């Protein structure tokens, strides 16, 4: 049976996953708790990614070295960059890029030295299946979030997008910075702090990888407002429902 690695960016997301695993056992490595068990009949290893590229890359490396695994799925939140990625939408990554990687003029801007590339693609079949699960969940958001969260966050017709997500060691929380990113990377749908690092580790190990991010903010001057409440009431619920829907049909 395929073993699935689940990396959650947020404590609340991991807690929601652990709450539905009947039998998880904790294995502690490198200060991280890896939870080995089952979910809907699938073998899973769930872990908190930690925040930022280095921490997430370390978590991914330990996960891939210490646990037998067939696919790795990441869930978290992200700031919307493109006009279409609105708060409450879900972005499934088709690929990742580090927006703060710049070894120019030795290498082209954003290219990761010695990899000969700036973009790290996700697994198309895995991403497609997760996008289908996300579309299913978002077709009835009230079922997963309740009416209050829908009203509070104005989540009336949330959508699923697939495309490029960019990562860097910065919580993008000014309109000015967000505009700079949009101008230099017009393809980018959303920005976060871990995905490109995990995608790079998965490329090194030949591990199929996919990532699902709920848009928690617009990466602008208001990005921090209600962030924690949004994670608790919306993003962590979407993550659980999307993974659960995906596992059910896998
Ligand atoms: N209070 C949180 C801290 C979250 S840091 C905690 O203690 O867990 C922000 C997280 O959300 C990171 O995982 C990052 O990947 C993502 N994220 C959401 N919006 C972002 C933005 N505008 N810029 C960068 N990362 C963002």
217 in catalytic set? yes
Stated pTM of the model: 0.97
**pLDDT for the residue 224:** 86
Largest CA distance in the chain: 53
Residue nearest to atom 8 of ligand 1 (CA): 10
- Cα(177) to centroid of ligand 1, in Å? 15
Read off the pLDDT of residues 48-100 as tens digits, 9 standing for 90 and up: 999 999 999 999 999 999 999 999 999 999 999 999 999 999 999 999 999 99
Query: Of the residues 13, 24, 89, 233, which is catalytic?
Result: 13
- Among the atoms of ligand 1, which is closest to the Cα of residue 194? 15
Q: State yes or no: pLDDT of 223 exceeds 90.
A: no
Query: Of the residues 24, 89, 217, 233, which is catalytic?
Result: 217
- Cα(131) to centroid of ligand 1, in Å? 21
**Ligand 1 contacts CB of residue 10 (under 6 A):** yes
**Ligand 1 contacts CB of residue 198 (under 6 A):** no
192 in catalytic set? no
Which helix (H) or strand (E) element contains residue 79? strand 71-80
Burial zone of 227 (CB within 10 Å; 0-12 exposed, 13-18 middle, 19+ buried): middle
For the chain, count helices (H), then strands (E): 9, 10
The tokens of 235 are what?
């993003």
Phi and psi dihedrals of 165, rounded to 5? -115, 140
Per-chain mean pLDDT for the chain: 96
Confidence band of 245 (pLDDT split at 50, 70, 90): very high
Q: State yes or no: pLDDT of 1 exceeds 90.
A: no
Question: Is 130:73 a contact under the CB 8 Å cutoff?
Answer: yes
* Burial per residue of 137-174, b for 16 or more beta-carbon CB atoms within 10 angstroms, e otherwise: bbeebeebbeeebbeebebeebebbbbbbbbbeebbbe
CA 240 to chain centre: 12
Residue nearest to atom 25 of ligand 1 (CA): 192
Residues with Cβ within 8 Å of residue 101, at least 6 apart in sequence: 109, 110, 111, 112, 118
Torsion of CA 21, 249, 147, 154, to 10 degrees: 110
């Amino acid at each position: 049976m395929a073993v699935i690695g689940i990396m959650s960016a947020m404590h609340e997301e991991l807690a929601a996953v652990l709450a539905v695993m009947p039998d998880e056992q904790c294995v502690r490595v490198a200060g991280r708790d890896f939870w080995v068990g089952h979910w809907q009949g699938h073998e899973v290893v769930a872990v908190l990614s930690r925040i930022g590229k280095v921490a997430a890359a370390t978590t991914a490396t330990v996960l891939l070295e210490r646990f037998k695994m067939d696919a790795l799925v990441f869930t978290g939140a992200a700031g919307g960059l493109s006009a279409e990625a609105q708060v409450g939408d879900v972005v499934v990554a088709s690929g990742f890029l580090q927006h703060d990687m710049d070894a120019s003029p030795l290498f082209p801007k954003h290219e990761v030295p010695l990899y000969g590339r700036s973009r790290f693609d996700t697994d198309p079949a895995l991403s497609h299946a997760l996008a289908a699960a996300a579309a299913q969940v978002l077709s009835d958001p009230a079922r997963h979030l309740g009416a209050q969260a829908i009203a509070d966050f104005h989540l009336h017709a949330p959508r699923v997008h697939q495309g490029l997500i960019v990562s860097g060691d910065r919580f993008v929380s000014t309109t000015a910075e967000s505009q700079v990113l949009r101008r230099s990377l017009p393809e980018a749908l959303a920005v976060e702090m871990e995905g490109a690092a995990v995608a790079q580790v998965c490329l090194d190990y030949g591990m199929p990888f996919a990532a699902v991010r709920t848009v928690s903010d617009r990466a602008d001057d208001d990005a921090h407002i209600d962030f924690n409440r949004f994670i608790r009431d919306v993003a962590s619920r979407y993550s659980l429902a999307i993974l659960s829907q995906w596992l059910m049909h896998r």
